[in-house]
Chains A and B, each alone.
Chain A
Amino acid sequence: DARVTQTPRHKVTEMGQEVTMRCQPILGHNTVFWYRQTMMQGLELLAYFRNRAPLDDSGMPKDRFSAEMPDATLATLKIQPSEPRDSAVYFCASGSPYGYTFGSGTRLTVV
């Protein structure tokens, strides 16, 4: 059963610290998304990649967030420095336009 794997599942960190979230997309999927779920905004698109190239990261605060795909099996989302308002659940998804598969998410709490 193919799945998108995200690590860590939970992360509690202090304000100002660097946070790195990792995603292993399903093998063969060439499109990878990062979404953030908040109570007010639902699922917000932060960035997405096709064939490892970034296509759109307009949803990301550029001064502190960065997203990369160093290879086809790994996507990373980094926040430096982290702030309390970054507390949310971060989801990675991979697939095709007709049905993306989401990971279980990383719940980030910045205190």
Chain B
Amino acid sequence: DQQVKQNSPSLSVQEGRISILNCDYTNSMFDYFLWYKKYPAEGPTFLISISSIKDKNEDGRFTVFLNKSAKHLSLHIVPSQPGDSAVYFCAASAKEYGNKLVFGAGTILRVKS
């Protein structure tokens, strides 16, 4: 039972354009959402997060949007750079579940120069 879903296994974007990565969740108890980025042979690294009391959080080129009614969040990268090529994982947590992170399957982003 996949509570966090990333339905696009991969995405290819031209350098300088916007990358939009999507994530859906099924559990309405989730109250905190995170994006992690992973390069080959390395562990995932924290990128950006958002609390359920917000609908947007921005950090430089990265913006996360949360639509609670649709149980959907997205990560926007503008402008995309070749160094952004990596696997992006969406994750969610809930205080009721001890704040353990539930991850999606990941989306491979390729930024072409």
Contact = CB atoms under 8 A, between A and B. Distances in A.
A109 interface: no
Contacts of A41: 105
Given A42-B104, A43-B89, A97 B43 contact: no
Interface stretch (A14-22, A65-73, A76-84, A100-108): A100-108
B45 interface: yes
Contact of A103 (B34, B43, B98, B105): B43
Contacts of B105: 40-42
A47 to B, nearest CB: 10
Interface residues of A, number: 25
B49 interface: yes
A67 to B, nearest CB: 14
Contact of A43 (B32, B93, B103): B103
A91 B44 CA distance: 9
Contact of A45 (B36, B41, B100, B106): B100
Contacts of A43: 44, 89, 91, 103, 106
Interface in A35-55: 35, 40-45, 48, 50, 55
Contact of A55 (B41, B98, B104, B106): B98
Contacts of B49: 98-99
Given A42-B89, A43-B89, A99-B49, A104 B43 contact: yes
B42 A104 contact: yes
Given A42-B105, A43-B89, A4 B46 contact: no
Given A41-B105, A43-B89, A98-B49, 13 more contacts: A31-B99, A33-B101, A35-B103, A40-B105, A42-B6, A42-B89, A42-B105, A45-B103, A93-B101, A99-B34, A102-B44, A104-B41, A104-B42
Interface of B: 6, 32, 34, 36, 41-46, 49, 89, 91, 93, 98-106
6 contacts: A43-B91, A93-B101, A97-B32, A97-B99, A98-B49, A104-B43
